[in-house]
């Protein structure tokens, strides 16, 4: 896969790190998770990004693009080493691709210290949105709390008044639930924290039933989410206590793993597949054609990251080496995107709309997400006020 990308984009092999500042090419370091349990997400980001580069004729901003792909294996140590390589040997102009926030936090300082632009196609840690915001960090996806906030608002608006919350027992889990509660003001019947990487959720499902709540919100990233949604859907509880989830727990990869039982699960996202804009139509159609699967929001984020880089390079007149000009371009350029309009806030995180999606049975009998409605418009994150930039 890597080699294919390399051939297509004529990526440099070992030791050919010269001429990084020549205006005739732009080097992108794509570090993402391609092996281990989280590989599906990284592969989607990479495929989305590469699809955009393909659509742009192998160029970004009219300049021939080299995409160097590396697998962080969801290991902060490995990621650290790749970062060093990107900066010191490959001398990339822009980096992107990290899926997980803990990896982002491990590699961020090295990118910022070397004044390498990092365009996050997923990880949106609160640190980099607030006090530790950085001129070289841009997030083209969403701040980690945003999807939870959107769902909190939806559940609040729909007048659910007794909610059970569920997350793994680690700080990110607590942050997620705090995000939900920022907009949900009703009663929290129960806050359940589970073991990280837990397999069986029968005990928690029984607790939800015993609590007699009228809605359940979960934050269970990765395999945990699939395990839970499978078991919850099969317990027949979705009818009694509807399940609300962040977009990534209701996305097409999860639907594919859970199957028809997933019908009726609500989730929030900044993007939905039916979005009516030319970039998105082309992305969705070609992604299915090229990869034989429905795109997830991760894939859309990878695609949007490439479109943003493209637009900014163009706006900066191809001069990526002029850091101030390139930053100005990234901040202000109106890049096309699969999600429609968005802009960056003062902390370089997007200010954008969030939507509600529901997993439904489609006309052809398959199960997938359908757009339900807009939950928030022009929403920024809660940390932007702490950012002095």
Partner 1 sequence: MISSNGSSRGTETPLIAGLPGPWIAIGMAVLLALYPLAMNTLGEDFYIGVGSRVLILALAASALNLALGYGGMISLGHAAFLGAGGYAVAILAKHGVVAAWIALPLAVGVAAAAALLIGAISLRTRGVYFIMITLAFAQLFYYLAISLPEFGGDDGLPLAARSLVPGLSLEGDLAFYYFVYFTAGLAFLLLYRLVASRFGRALVAIRENERRMAAIGYPVYRLKLMAFALSGGLAGLAGALLANLSMGVTPHTLTWHQSGILMVMVIIGGSGYFWGGLVGAAIFLILEETISGYTEHWNLVLGALLLFIVIVAPNGVMSLRERLRRLPQGTRVATIPACEEKA
Partner 2 sequence: MLYLILEQALNGLQYGLMLFLLAAGLTLVFGIMDLINLAHGSLYMIGAFLTAAFFQALQSFFPALLLAILATAAIGVILERLLYRRLQGMNHLSQVLATFALILIANETIKIIFGAQPLMIGMPASLSGAVELVADELYYPAYRLLIIGVGLTVALGLYLLVNRTRVGMWMRAGASNPQMAAVMGVRIKPMFTFVFALGAALCALAGALLGPLLAVSVGMGESILIPAFEVIVIGGIGSMRGALVGALLVGMIDTVGRLVLTFGLKLVVASGTAATLGPTLASMMVSLLMVGVLFFRPQGLFPARG
Residues that bind partner 2 in the complex, under the rule CB under 8 A = 34-37, 39-40, 43, 169, 191-197, 199-200, 202-203, 206-207, 210, 223, 226-227, 230-231, 234-236, 253-254, 256-261, 293
Output the smallest distance, CB 100 to partner 2, in A. 15
Applying CB under 8 A, the residues found at the interface with partner 1 are 1-3, 14, 34-35, 69-71, 74-77, 80-81, 84-85, 87-89, 101-102, 105-106, 109-110, 125, 169-172, 174, 195-196
Which of the choices partner 2, partner 1, none does residue 156 contact, using the CB cut-off of 5 to 8 A by kind?
none
Output the smallest distance, CB 359 to partner 2, in A. 13
Output the smallest distance, CB 332 to partner 2, in A. 36
3-state class (DSSP) for residue 283: helix
Which of the choices partner 1, partner 2, none does residue 191 contact, using the CB cut-off of 5 to 8 A by kind?
partner 2
Helix 171-183 to helix 146-157 angle, to the nearest 10 degrees? 40
Q: Which is nearer to partner 1, 299 or 313 (CB)?
A: 299
- Give CA 293 to chain center in angstroms: 18
Which of the choices partner 1, partner 2, none does residue 241 contact, using the CB cut-off of 5 to 8 A by kind?
none
Q: Which is nearer to partner 1, 221 or 242 (CB)?
A: 221
Output the smallest distance, CB 228 to partner 2, in A. 9
Q: Which is nearer to partner 1, 6 or 351 (CB)?
A: 6
Largest CA distance in the chain: 65
Query: Could you give the count of Cα atoms lying within 13 Å of 41 in the half-sphere of its Cβ?
Result: 26
Q: Which is nearer to partner 2, 47 or 132 (CB)?
A: 47
Length of the chain: 389
Q: Which is nearer to partner 1, 148 or 273 (CB)?
A: 148
Q: Which is nearer to partner 1, 33 or 238 (CB)?
A: 33
Which residues, including other chains, have CB under 8 Å from residue 223's CB and lie 6 or more apart? Answer: 37, 197
* Nearest CA-CA partner of 217 in 259, 290, 162, 270: 162
Output the smallest distance, CB 269 to partner 2, in A. 18
- CB-count exposure of residue 114 (10 Å: 0-12, 13-18, 19+): middle
Output the smallest distance, CB 361 to partner 1, in A. 36
Q: Which is nearer to partner 2, 120 or 231 (CB)?
A: 231
Which of the choices partner 2, partner 1, none does residue 389 contact, using the CB cut-off of 5 to 8 A by kind?
none
Which residues, including other chains, have CB under 8 Å from residue 188's CB and lie 6 or more apart? Answer: 163, 164, 165, 181
3-state class (DSSP) for residue 11: coil
What DSSP line would sit under 217-269, residue for residue?
EE---THHHHHHHHHHHHTTHHHHS-EEEEGGGSSHHHHHHHGGGGTT-EEEE
Which of the choices partner 1, partner 2, none does residue 212 contact, using the CB cut-off of 5 to 8 A by kind?
none
Output the smallest distance, CB 12 to partner 1, in A. 11
Distance of alpha carbon 228 from alpha carbon 238, whole angstroms: 12
């Amino acid at each position: 896969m890597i080699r294919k990308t390399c051939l297509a984009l004529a990526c440099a092999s070992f030791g050919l790190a010269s001429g990084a500042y020549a205006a005739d090419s732009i080097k992108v370091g794509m570090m993402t998770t391609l092996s281990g349990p989280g590989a599906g997400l990284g592969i989607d980001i990479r495929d989305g990004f590469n699809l955009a580069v393909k659509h742009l004729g192998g160029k970004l901003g009219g300049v021939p693009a080299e995409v160097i792909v590396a697998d962080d294996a969801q290991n902060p140590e490995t990621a650290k080493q790749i970062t060093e390589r990107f900066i010191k040997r490959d001398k990339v102009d822009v980096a992107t691709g990290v899926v997980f926030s803990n990896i982002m936090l491990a590699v961020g300082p090295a990118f910022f210290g070397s004044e390498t632009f990092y365009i996050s196609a997923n990880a949106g840690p609160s640190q980099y949105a607030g006090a530790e915001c950085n001129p070289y960090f841009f997030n083209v996806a969403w701040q980690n709390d945003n999807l939870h906030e959107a769902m909190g608002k939806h559940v609040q608006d729909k007048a659910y008044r007794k909610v059970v919350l569920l997350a793994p027992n680690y700080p990110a889990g607590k942050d997620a639930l705090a995000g939900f509660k920022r907009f949900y003001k009703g009663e929290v019947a129960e806050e359940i924290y589970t073991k990280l990487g837990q397999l069986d959720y029968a005990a928690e499902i029984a607790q939800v039933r015993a609590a007699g709540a009228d809605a359940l919100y979960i934050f269970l990233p990765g395999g945990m989410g699939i395990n839970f949604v499978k078991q919850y859907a099969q317990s027949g509880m979705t009818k009694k206590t509807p399940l609300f989830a962040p977009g990534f727990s209701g996305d097409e990869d999860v639907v594919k793993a859970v199957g028809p039982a997933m019908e009726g699960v609500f989730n929030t996202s900044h993007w939905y597949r039916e979005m009516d804009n030319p970039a998105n139509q082309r992305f969705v159609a070609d992604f299915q054609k090229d990869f034989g699967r429905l795109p997830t929001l991760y894939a859309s984020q990878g695609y949007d990251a490439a479109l943003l880089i493209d637009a900014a390079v163009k706006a900066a007149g191809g001069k990526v080496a002029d850091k101030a000009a390139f930053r100005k371009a990234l901040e202000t350029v109106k890049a096309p995107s699969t999600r429609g309009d968005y802009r960056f806030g003062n902390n370089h995180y997007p200010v954008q709309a969030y939507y509600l999606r529901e997993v439904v049975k489609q006309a052809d009998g398959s199960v997938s997400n359908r757009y339900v409605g807009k939950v928030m418009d022009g929403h920024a994150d809660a940390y932007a006020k702490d950012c002095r930039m």
